[in-house]
């Protein structure tokens, strides 16, 4: 191949990248579609004749590749956290004051305010300016590899423009479907007698999760970048606003509505303004996000649980409509909780047709004076869960009936118990109740538990109703024939599910404890139990006093744990699961009261590490009993500092906190091996 032809290939690629940017990002095309198509065909012809010039960043790679059999998992180097919510201006003002109190500085805080797009959060990884991987948010720690699909989105550059970008750059953003594209897509689907999408968010999510990227390529998707996840070997601005500006200079699309505001007053003004203009925007939003602009201040504020302290989402009020409560039925949850559910005259609210709405519990039913036959005001709480906000008593018909809690479980006829002082009534049947058992199995296979990909709620119900599974351990006895013969399944789907079941056998002690579904033992509590005891047998034999020594566990939760492990049936199921091959890497245990060598110590990680991912270091430290936080304080015992450590290192030096480099960190780990 001649050097002239190579130059021609590079020139065509550069031209097409620029024209894509003009069309999708700037909305200012400078050539006709016919001229663009000709350039594209010229490049495609050369690449087909000379395969050696293939490049992943070529514009021809947007057309869609060979269909996948399944999505691979991607671990986020830095977790993609969720945000705390506010539903009023007062709550935003309280948030602002809380930050100033924590900083011990009453100066006005500068925020970056941006519309909260109703789409799908994604992570884009660029290496030397070339897009190499894209992933969904998933559960925040791991997502799905959607690189092939993301390549088809015209507004996402396959190769960054300009210069000065880091060697590795993770960009985070929201993929969404503009309203005009959504309408056009639904019109097309309806004309082809296919099922239409309920709302733009579902359309965007469904399009990104196509195994065949050629389908995604036909969908009108767009993306706005909203943050930098992490960087390697390259300097970045020290605040959010400048980071967004530099991302835009590299060819990434940034929402034009984003604004720099000062204090809670500036946040209120932005919220009101965007609320007035909401219906005129080209895309759906469900609120506004406020982020502290200064990255150093963000570091000072740190994180709480799964959310940053320095950001908050103020949601728009839920849309409300009126409809009739035709009936009230009672559902049985995993822990036996009896939940009243209103069966409604179908009504369109918040972008979906709603026919059922939760009534939460009988205290709520009584407080709102809900009767069967009432005209109810229904809303989607947080634009997600439909609920009955109130009933209109003036419109109550003469034959309206009060809602009465049944005495017997509607599923297994066991007694319903309502403990004094508790709002929730429960079925006393335990795992004898098929509803509780079914919900427990759904929980066991869920993403945060054993994470069996492909074994969703509907398939669990099919397997349970066909008597193919009666408990957790039966999942590991399923065979190809059992699964393949079910509705909407086949050989390929059955093979994928069986492989996912096999993969799930390698888990962690924390996930396993959470998967068991012990009442009031959530993710954090399961993790604390695993880290404190380090061994399942020790947890099974733990006394109430020992359990109450664990962080986040009080007498009520301790009682639930003891009661669970005293039940012979539960121990039998656990033994059968272990016999089926479910296992986890042993946690390191040293002598001492807690059994973990770093129990009670607080660690912070900062900078770029060469040999291990920060998430891996965090997991290792937690397995040794340490608490890993996001900010340095007087309570911090050790700061692990990689390359390009910033303000956290400076603060640690001021506070005279122990500082380990990566080599010292490994030396410490080796002492416990």
pLDDT in tens, 499-521: 999 999 999 999 999 999 998 89
The domains spanning 429-504 and 509-584 adopt the same CATH topology = yes
428 annotated ligand-binding residue: no
In the chain, where the domains are located: 3-63, 84-315, 320-406, 429-504, 509-584, 602-671
CA 116 to chain centre: 15
Does pLDDT of 130 surpass 60? yes
98-102, 464-468, 604-608: the lowest-pLDDT one:
604-608
**Nearest CA among 239, 410, 243 for reference residue 337:** 410
34 annotated ligand-binding residue: yes
3-state secondary structure of 452: coil
- What average pLDDT does this structure show over 418-437? 80
559 annotated ligand-binding residue: no
- What average pLDDT does this structure show over 84-97? 92
pLDDT in tens, 568-583: 888 888 999 999 999 9
Kindly state the tokens that stand for 247. Answer: 């991302």
Kindly state the tokens that stand for 232. Answer: 């390697």
Tell me the CATH number for domain 84-315: 3.30.470.30
Q: State the pLDDT confidence band at 453, using cuts at 50, 70 and 90.
A: confident
Residues 6+ apart with CB under 8 A from 597: 588, 590, 624, 625, 672
- Looking at residue 591, the DSSP 8-state letter turns out to be S
- pTM metric for this prediction: 0.60
- What average pLDDT does this structure show over 530-535? 86
pLDDT of residue 592: 39
Evaluate whether the domain defined by 320-406 bears CATH number 2.40.50.140: yes
33 annotated ligand-binding residue: yes
Q: State the pLDDT confidence band at 306, using cuts at 50, 70 and 90.
A: low
Distance CA 514, CA 670 (A): 29
pLDDT in tens, 464-489: 999 999 888 899 999 999 899 898 88
**Contact, 345 vs 326, CB < 8 A?**
yes
- What average pLDDT does this structure show over 58-72? 69
Does pLDDT of 64 surpass 60? no
409 annotated ligand-binding residue: yes
Does pLDDT of 305 surpass 80? no
pLDDT in tens, 364-401: 999 999 999 999 999 875 446 788 989 999 999 999 99
CATH topology of domain 3-63: Helix Hairpins (1.10.287)
Does pLDDT of 114 surpass 70? yes
3-state secondary structure of 428: coil
Does pLDDT of 23 surpass 70? no
Going edge to edge, which strands form the sheet with 602-606? 627-629, 602-606, 638-641, 658-660
Tell me the CATH number for domain 429-504: 1.10.150.20
Distance CA 59, CA 450 (A): 39
pLDDT of residue 523: 86
**Contact, 256 vs 245, CB < 8 A?**
no
Tell me the CATH number for domain 602-671: 3.40.50.10190
Does pLDDT of 589 surpass 60? no
432 annotated ligand-binding residue: no
The full DSSP string for 211-229 is: SSHHHHHTS--EEEEEEEE
Q: State the pLDDT confidence band at 593, using cuts at 50, 70 and 90.
A: very low
Helix 568-579 and helix 555-566: axis angle, to 10°? 70
Report the range out of 22-26, 73-77, 398-402, 573-577 with the highest average pLDDT: 398-402
Q: State the pLDDT confidence band at 62, using cuts at 50, 70 and 90.
A: low
Percent of the chain with pLDDT over 90: 45
pLDDT of residue 625: 78
3-state secondary structure of 550: coil
Distance CA 293, CA 395 (A): 50
Percent of the chain with pLDDT over 70: 94
428 or 146, higher pLDDT: 146
**Contact, 322 vs 376, CB < 8 A?**
yes
**Contact, 173 vs 226, CB < 8 A?**
yes
pLDDT of residue 78: 86
Helices in 124-178 by DSSP H: which ranges?
147-150
Residues 6+ apart with CB under 8 A from 630: 299, 302, 303, 308, 604
Q: State the pLDDT confidence band at 121, using cuts at 50, 70 and 90.
A: very high
| Catalytic annotation, residues | 116
pLDDT of residue 25: 63
Does pLDDT of 254 surpass 70? yes
pLDDT in tens, 170-217: 999 999 999 999 999 999 988 988 888 878 888 898 899 888 888 999
Burial class, 341, CB count within 10 angstroms (exposed 0-12 / middle 13-18 / buried 19+): middle
**Nearest CA among 455, 488, 453 for reference residue 469:** 455
* Mean of per-residue pLDDT scores for the chain: 87
**Contact, 363 vs 423, CB < 8 A?**
yes
**Contact, 292 vs 303, CB < 8 A?**
no
- CATH class entry, domain 509-584: mainly alpha
**Contact, 509 vs 587, CB < 8 A?**
yes
Does pLDDT of 22 surpass 80? no
């Amino acid at each position: 191949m001649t050097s002239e032809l190579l130059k021609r290939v590079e020139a065509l690629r550069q031209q097409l990248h620029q024209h894509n940017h003009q069309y999708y990002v700037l909305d200012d095309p400078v050539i006709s579609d016919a001229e663009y198509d000709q350039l594209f065909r010229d490049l495609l012809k050369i690449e087909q004749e000379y395969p050696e010039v293939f490049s992943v960043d070529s514009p021809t790679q947007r057309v869609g590749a060979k269909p996948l059999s399944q999505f691979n998992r991607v671990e986020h180097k830095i977790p993609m956290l969720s945000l705390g919510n506010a539903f009023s201006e007062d709550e935003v003002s309280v948030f602002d004051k809380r930050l100033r109190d924590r900083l011990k500085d009453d100066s006005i805080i500068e925020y970056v305010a941006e519309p909260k797009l109703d789409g799908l959060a994604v992570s884009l990884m660029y290496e030397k300016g070339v897009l190499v991987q894209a992933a969904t948010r998933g559960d925040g720690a791991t997502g799905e590899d959607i690189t092939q699909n993301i390549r088809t989105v015209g507004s996402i550059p396959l190769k960054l423009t300009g210069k000065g970008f880091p060697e590795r750059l993770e960009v985070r953003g929201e993929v969404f479907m503009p309203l005009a594209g959504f309408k056009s897509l639904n019109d097309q689907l309806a004309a082809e007698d296919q099922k239409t999408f309920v709302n733009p968010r579902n359309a965007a999510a469904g399009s990104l999760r196509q195994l065949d990227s050629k389908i995604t390529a036909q969908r009108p998707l767009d993306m706005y970048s909203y943050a930098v996840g992490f960087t390697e070997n390259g300097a970045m601005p020290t605040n959010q606003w400048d980071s967004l500006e530099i991302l835009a200079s590299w060819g990434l699309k940034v929402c034009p509505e984003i604004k720099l505001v000062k204090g809670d007053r500036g946040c209120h003004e932005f919220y009101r303004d965007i609320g007035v203009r909401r219906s005129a925007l080209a895309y759906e939003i469900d609120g506004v996000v406020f982020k502290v602009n200064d990255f150093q201040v963000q570091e000072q504020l740190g994180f709480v649980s799964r959310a940053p302290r320095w950001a908050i989402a103020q949601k728009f009020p839920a849309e409300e409509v009126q409809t009739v409560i035709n009936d009230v039925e009672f559902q049985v949850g995993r822990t036996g909780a009896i939940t009243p559910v209103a069966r409604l005259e179908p009504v369109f609210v918040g972008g979906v047709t709603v026919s059922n709405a939760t009534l939460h519990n009988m205290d709520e039913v009584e407080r709102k004076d809900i009767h069967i036959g009432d005209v109810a005001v229904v809303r989607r709480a947080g634009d997600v869960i439909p609920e009955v906000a109130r009933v209109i008593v003036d419109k109550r018909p003469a034959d309206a009936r009060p809602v009465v809690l049944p005495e017997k479980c509607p599923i297994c006829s066991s007694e319903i118990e309502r403990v004094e002082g508790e709002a929730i009534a429960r079925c006393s049947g335990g795992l004898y109740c098929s509803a509780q058992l079914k919900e427990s199995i759904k929980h066991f296979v869920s993403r945060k538990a054993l994470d069996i990909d492909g074994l969703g709620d509907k398939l669990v119900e099919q397997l349970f109703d066909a008597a193919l599974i009666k408990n957790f351990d039966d999942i590991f006895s399923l065979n190809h024939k059992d699964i393949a013969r079910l509705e909407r399944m086949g050989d390929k789907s059955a093979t994928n599910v069986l492989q996912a079941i096999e993969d799930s056998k390698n888990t962690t002690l924390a996930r396993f404890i959470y998967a068991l579904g012990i009442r009031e033992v959530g993710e954090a509590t399961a993790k604390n139990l695993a880290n404190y005891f380090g061994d399942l047998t020790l947890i099974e034999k733990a006394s109430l006093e020992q359990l109450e020594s664990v962080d986040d566990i009080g007498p009520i939760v301790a009682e639930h744990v003891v009661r669970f492990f005293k039940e012979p049936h539960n121990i039998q199921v656990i033994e059968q699961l272990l016999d089926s091959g479910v296992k986890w890497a042993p946690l390191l245990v040293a002598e001492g009261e807690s059994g973990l060598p770093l129990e009670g110590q607080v660690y912070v990680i900062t900078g770029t590490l060469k040999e291990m991912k920060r998430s891996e270091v965090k997991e290792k430290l937690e397995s040794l009993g340490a608490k890993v936080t996001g900010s340095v304080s007087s309570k911090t015992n050790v700061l692990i500092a990689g390359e390009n450590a910033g303000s956290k290192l400076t603060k640690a030096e001021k506070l005279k906190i122990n500082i380990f480099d990566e080599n010292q960190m490994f030396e410490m780990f080796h002492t416990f091996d």
